Amino acid sequence: GTLSNEKVDFKSRYDAARSYLDSLAKPVGSLGTLEDWAARLAVFQCSSKPTVEKVACLIFAGDHGVAKDKSDGGANCSAYPQSVTQKVLEGLEHNLAGASVLAAANDVNLRVIDVGLATDFGSTFGAGNVVAISEHKVNGGTENFCDGAALSNIELDGCILAGRKETKRCIQKMQEVQLLVFGEVGIGNTTSSSALIAALTGEPAANICGCGATTDRVGDENIILKKIKIIEEAIQCHSASQMINNPALALENLGGAEIAAIVGGMLEASERNIPVLVDGFIVTTAAMIAVLM
C-alpha cells in the first residue's frame, strides 16, 4: 500500500497513516498529538505498527564566552557561574544526572560529547564511560559574542561535523536506531539561543527571553532584563540585517559549540531518515536552524 512504499512522498504516506488511525475503533483524533507522532513514525518505518524500542540520546556540551565573569571578559549572562557546565558533566559521567536516570529507566543509549567546555574535561577525569571529547572541540569555549564572533568559520564547520560524526557513529553502532533524542549542557545557552532566534527572525529580544536556568521556581525579572540588554548589545555588535534567514552567519556570530553540533546531528539524522525528538528551548532553536540550513 501507500504507507509501505518508500518511493511515495512523505505527505502522502503520512495522510495514509492518519487515515488508518481514523479507521480504528476510537473517536477520530481522540489521542491528540500522540496520533501525529504515531503517523510520523509509521512513515519513517513504512509500517502501520511502528515501534520505538531502539532509542539513543546524544548530549552535546559547550561553554559560552558571554557566560564568563566580567573580570574574565564575559557578561555574566546566567544566574549560575560557567563552572556549573563541568559539574553537570561530572554528574552525567557518574550516572547521577537527571538524563542518566531517565535514560537508564527507559533503556535509552546515552552518550555525552564535549564540543566546547572551557576546561579540559579529559585531563581531569580521564577517558570517561559516558562523556567523550570531540576531536573538533572548541578549546576554551566560545568567545563573548558582545565583543565579536562567538565562533570562527573553521570552529563552526568543526562543530557541525562533530554532530554529524557522532550521529553517524550512533546509528552505525546501534543498527536500525528508531529515534534520536538530542540534548545539551552549557551555562549561557538560553542566552545564545534567544540571540539566535532574534537574529534569524528580526523579533525583539524582549519577546523571546525567559529566565533560563534559575535558582528558584519564580525566576528573577532582573535576570531577564539583563539578558535582553546583552542580546540587544550583541545584535548591535554584528550586522543584524545580514543574519536574518542566514543560519551559518548567525551561528558564527551568536551560537554555541553544542548548538552547532546538534544542528549537524539533526542534518545527518534527516539525511538518513531517522526521526528526531525535539524538546526544550535550545534543541528547538537548533531544529529551527537545521531547517534553514
How many CB atoms sit inside 10 A of residue 91's CB? Answer: 16
User: How much is the average pLDDT of 158-182?
Assistant: 94
Check: CB of residue 293 under 8 Å from CB of residue 92: no
Please compute the mean of the pLDDT values over residues 126-136 and round it to a whole number: 80
Cα-based torsion angle of the residue sequence 37, 34, 46, 49 in order, rounded to the nearest 10 degrees: 150
The pLDDT tens digits for 187-225 are 999 999 999 999 999 999 889 887 666 555 566 677 788
* Residue 151 near residue 196, CB atoms below 8 Å: no
Report the relative pairing of strands 109-116 and 55-62 from DSSP bridges: parallel
- Calpha distance 239→250 (Å, rounded): 10
Question: What pTM does this model have?
Answer: 0.92
Please report where in the chains the cell 559521567 appears, as a residue: 93
Closest CA to 178 of 54, 59, 279: 54
Q: For the chain, what percent of residues have pLDDT higher than 90?
A: 66
CA dist 240 and 235 (Å) reads: 6
Q: Which three cell numbers stand for residue 239?
A: 550586522
